[in-house]
Amino acid sequence: MKATLLTLACLSCAMTNGFTQTIYRVSETAGEFLVRAPDARAGGMGHAGTATSGDANSAFWNVGKLTDAPGNFGASATYSPWMPYIMNNVWLGYATGYKKLGKGQVVGASVQYFNEPVMISVPTLSSGEDIALSGSYAKQLGGHFSAGVTLKYVSSNLGGNVIVSGNTLKPARAVAGDIGFYYKSHSSDVDGHENMTWTAGATLVNIGPKMSYGAGYEYFLPTTLRLGGGLSYTANGQHKLNVTAEAGKLLVPTPVPGRNVNQKPYLEGILQSFSDAPGGFKEEMQEIVVSMGAEYWYRNRFALRGGYHAENKEKGNRKFFTTGAGVRFLKHYSLDFAYLIPTDPGSAMKNMYKVSASVDF
């Protein structure tokens, strides 16, 4: 594990395995917080959200889902401690809101914050700050399809204390974008007592140039492709069951021993990420992360959730179950909670949770 840049995925990958397993060809990126599940609903469903129904947090998972969000206006805020089992006062925060316009159009904005742990020297840690400010637009494209785009400003500041080869690393900045597509189809029986809804989603997120910390330390953003599907069944207007599954792949160069793959041009790195793994097709498939989850609602007031998230053991080995619950009250307000249960009892991801508060009108 590199001792200089804890922020660039090394810590989260190694600590997840309790420092007991060897990590093979795990891609390093800048702004890794951009792909961490920010909200408690998806957090309780295995970190799957690409093809679930729309809500205030849609812009993160699939900006195309914003048209499916309830009401004409909505907002949500989430707090999530990061690896509290081994670190204090490290957390991820997310706040987002949307406003529906005429003709199936929606605009949204969000801010994502992470107070980054930074290793100055072994074992001394300092604290940096990562932040992303985003603006989104989505539009209904007929009865079943919708699409959207997001533009974001990303800043990663290691705190000014990290020195590599005599050079102090500087804050890194970038402008990036997301694009998302969402499909939804609905059917019901003659009496309207039972309803079925099918959904599908596709997103390409964090599309943008590499971020440079100076001194030759340049890293790709975590550009990610996600594909997902979902099914929702409602009975007697009281019981609703939602299930979803998705797969994601990081579109950055696969690390190669003795070579700095981060020197590749940005577009070349993305295009070659489908075929550049030294282990060939087998290793490319190992880079796919799978998430799945289920959600049960009673009278649209109380929710129970569960899920599973799996990553190949040679690509980080982050495997965990999730559980969660939600309550909706006074028609417009919601509270949600999620808890992560790693499959490895020695994992540093123990005791991680998320709390979200939402409103829509």
Rounded CA separation 348/212 (Å): 28
Contact (CB, 8 A) for 82 and 156: no
* Cis bond upstream, residue 209 (ω within 30): no
Per the model's pLDDT, the better-predicted residue between 261 and 354 turns out to be 354
Rounded CA separation 159/208 (Å): 23
Domain boundaries 6-360, corresponding CATH code:
2.40.160.40
**Spatial CA neighbour of 28 closest among 50, 44, 12:** 12
| Whether the predicted pLDDT of 316 surpasses 80 | yes
Rounded CA separation 148/162 (Å): 38
> pLDDT tens for residues 303-312?
999 999 999 9
Contact (CB, 8 A) for 59 and 66: yes
**Can you say whether residue 258 is alpha, beta or left, with left for phi > 0 and alpha for psi between -120 and 50 degrees?**
left
Arithmetic mean of pLDDT, 288-304: 97
**pLDDT band with cut points at 50, 70 and 90 for residue 91:** very high
Looking at residue 28, what is its pLDDT? 84
Looking at residue 116, what is its pLDDT? 74
> pLDDT tens for residues 321-332?
999 999 999 999
| Whether the predicted pLDDT of 167 surpasses 90 | no
| Length of the chain as a residue count | 361
> pLDDT tens for residues 23-47?
457 888 999 999 999 999 999 999 9
Contact (CB, 8 A) for 227 and 246: yes
**pLDDT band with cut points at 50, 70 and 90 for residue 337:** very high
- Name, in order, each residue with C-beta under 8 angstroms of 130's C-beta and a sequence gap of 6 or more: 7, 31, 33, 113, 114, 115, 116, 154, 155, 156, 157
Contact (CB, 8 A) for 242 and 326: no
Backbone angles phi, psi at 146, to 5 degrees: -145, 160
Q: Which helix (H) or strand (E) holds 112?
A: strand 105-114
| Whether the predicted pLDDT of 248 surpasses 90 | yes
> pLDDT tens for residues 98-113?
999 988 999 999 999 9
Looking at residue 221, what is its pLDDT? 96
Rounded CA separation 192/110 (Å): 37
Q: What Å distances lie between residue 334 and 51, 253, 257, 300, 316, CA to CA?
A: 20, 40, 48, 11, 34
Looking at residue 131, what is its pLDDT? 96
- Cα distance from N-terminal residue to C-terminal residue, the chain: 48
Looking at residue 73, what is its pLDDT? 97
Looking at residue 119, what is its pLDDT? 56
Looking at residue 164, what is its pLDDT? 67
Rounded CA separation 345/329 (Å): 36
- Name, in order, each residue with C-beta under 8 angstroms of 180's C-beta and a sequence gap of 6 or more: 50, 61, 62, 63, 64, 65, 138, 147, 148, 149, 150, 201, 202, 203, 204, 205
Eight-class DSSP state of 132:
E
**Spatial CA neighbour of 336 closest among 80, 90, 83:** 80
- Name, in order, each residue with C-beta under 8 angstroms of 42's C-beta and a sequence gap of 6 or more: 48, 49, 52, 57, 61, 293
Rounded CA separation 55/76 (Å): 9
CB atoms inside a 10 Å sphere around CB 72? 12
**Over the chain, what is the mean pLDDT?**
89
**Which of 55-64, 215-224, 246-255, 337-346 is the least confident region?**
215-224
> pLDDT tens for residues 106-165?
999 999 999 876 655 545 556 689 999 999 999 999 999 999 999 999 999 876 666 766
